[in-house]
A and B are shown apart, each in its own frame.
Chain A
Amino acid sequence: MKVLDHLEEWIITFLMGAATIVIFVAVMHRYASGLPIGALQERLIQINTSWAQELTIIMFVWMAKFGAAYGVRTGIHVGVDVLINRLAERTRGKVVTFGLLAGALFTGIVGTLGVRLVWENGMHYALFTMLGWNVGDVPEGPTTPDLEWPTWVVYSAVPLGSYLMCFRFLQVTWQFLRSGELPHHEVAHVEGLEEEPAPPKPGVEDAIYRMRDEVHPHDVEHPPLPGDDDSGARK
């Protein structure tokens, strides 16, 4: 489990940084190859960077899919919680559980649709060819315009990311049912300012979306355990 967590974090951190560098290098290259320095210019012109844009898009789409799953774990996704935060504890627990399961349902369906998409877009062909089976009249599947990567590999972000997200939703639901806690409390508020005017930590911008506000559901104090019908929750 820990491995999966770290892998997830590592992937999106890498994609974020790498995409920035790719665009930076491509822009630098565009202007540097305009410089009238004979040998350098000739060598630079030979390098083709027209694929940079496409690569960035692919990297960010992958980042978005896996980041969305990571976001479920960190509780960053925003919703309309004005109403349910005013409900009684027990009802709120039920509604929150419903919301989380709906998330799992949606991502599960999308993941399955994604598998079909990937399969029909060339995975079928690629797998059968690799195994040496008869492909019949299955088409080879398209490739991306600049990088000429097979699209099914690129599109596999949809099923992989969605299934991971589905798993995260179920994980959060399980935690919520057991402890009544939602993930957004793991990360500190924009706090730490009482003692000294310490500057906010880097990346504080996303912590903003994890405060006790009205775009996230609040925790319930008593876990809505199954069978916990009328005891406890009525304080």
Chain B
Amino acid sequence: MSTAIIFGLLIALMLTGMPISISLGLTVLTFLFTMTQVPIESVALKLFTGIEKFEIMAIPFFILAGNFLTHGGVARRMIRFANSMVGHWHGGLGLAGVLACALFAAVSGSSPATVVAIGSIILPAMVKQGFPKKFGAGVITTSGALGILIPPSIVMVMYSVSTNSSVGALFMAGVVPGIVLASLLGFTTWYRARKFRYPRNPPASWAQRWKTFRESVWGLLLILIVMGGIYSGLFTPTEAAAMSAVYAFIIAVFVYKDLRLRDVPRTLLASANMSAMLLYIITNAVLFSFLMTSEQVPQAMADWLIGKGLGVVAFLLVVNVLLLLAGNVMEPSSIVLIMAPILFPVAEKLGIDPVHFGILMVVNMEVGMCHPPVGLNLYVASGITKMGITELTVAVWPWLLTMLGFLILVTYWPPLSLWLPRTLGMVSG
């Protein structure tokens, strides 16, 4: 009964369009004031201690690192490198766009940021070369989603925070699926470009390739710091995030010189603004899951579902449908923070690996970002291309179908995500 009231209230408040963080908080307050004996004082304390975890602090650092690198220089160099490697195949610049998105995803933890960084440079170039606008928009909108699958990833940190799983293992688990998804999207691009005879670029010489690689390598080293640092045990994930922020600062200001020192405070402020928004949702989501746990909602749900004789296969199907529906109205961070604490205990009882479950959620979020009404990637792409959302929705469907196929693969074939972390000994079993 109380479960129905909690969720009814939450959904009603959310539909009024108030910030998600506020609706979570108000739900908790209403419930505590009217229906339970839980001391209300604990709420204010939770508001402070809720985010008093060192792991959460990786989020602002990764946002800062991404913001230092989210401007022309780094993305341009990565596109040049990608183009020299794959630009001569069918799909030309489009294929290079997929590769460049994958590379940029390795320095940025956010999908829309990847779309902005790569898209705003490559899309005008593609139109100039004679690609139809909607082809380019389709490629970049969906490839940009790689941003949250290829580490570092802000959504993965959120998941690990709300389920107490290891950030390092999740990051490692994202690598193989990330490469596979990039290849699949690349294949779709290649296939459609061949079918419609889109322009290709002349092949680059190995000397050119080496030169473009050397130019872009400074940015790419960031992922080595993060992954190498975490894997070798040099840094904790949060320290790795802080190191990557400092590294990104040095690269942007002193090596590539495309950020002036006096722009740095502005970047700091913008990153703080974004981080604070996410941290505020986390705070209130922690309150909410505190309420859930004290009302024993996840346990009751787990027992109920298992009592129904729901197996792993059916459960994962339900999870996917639920998340895809949620993806229609909310953005990824909020979905993960609200849904993960509820679904995770059930998954655990069914013996689903936490890391696999996390990757599944992340891929699901990617799909949600690429279709209306709430797909953030779509809005960013529409900002760049000046195409309407409806038109864009039609443009992305070949790649969106590819992604849905990939989602099924990730869901029902755990070794895809678990093989690498298992081989490296970061996941037991």
Contact = CB atoms under 8 A, between A and B. Distances in A.
B57 A60 contact: yes
B398 interface: no
A78 B376 CA distance: 11
B73 interface: yes
Interface in B120-134: 120-121, 124-125
B14 interface: yes
A15 B272 CA distance: 9
B280 A99 contact: no
A76 B63 contact: no
B41 A209 contact: no
Interface stretch (B160-168, B213-221, B378-386, B419-427): B378-386
Contacts of B270: 202-207
Contacts of B76: 199
A16 B44 contact: no
Contacts of A223: none
A154 B48 CA distance: 9
Interface in A75-98: 76-85, 95-96, 98
Contact of A80 (B14, B73, B271): B14
B381 to A, nearest CB: 10
Interface stretch (B19-27, B96-104, B405-413): B19-27
Interface residues of A, number: 83
Contact of B112 (A12, A67, A205): A205
A27 B235 contact: yes
A205 B63 contact: yes
Contacts of B13: 102
Interface string B265-283: 1111111111111011101
B138 interface: no
Given A13-B265, A96-B17, A199-B75, A60 B279 contact: yes
A159 to B, nearest CB: 8
A215 B330 contact: yes
Contacts of B331: 78, 215
A56 interface: yes
Contacts of A114: 44, 47
Interface of B: 13-23, 25-26, 29, 40-41, 43-45, 47-48, 51-54, 56-57, 60-61, 63-64, 66-68, 70-73, 75-76, 110, 112-113, 116-117, 120-121, 124-125, 234-235, 238-239, 242-243, 245-246, 258-259, 263-277, 279-281, 283, 328-331, 334, 372-374, 376, 379-380, 383-384, 386
10 contacts: A70-B276, A76-B273, A78-B277, A78-B281, A102-B26, A117-B44, A155-B48, A202-B266, A204-B71, A208-B376
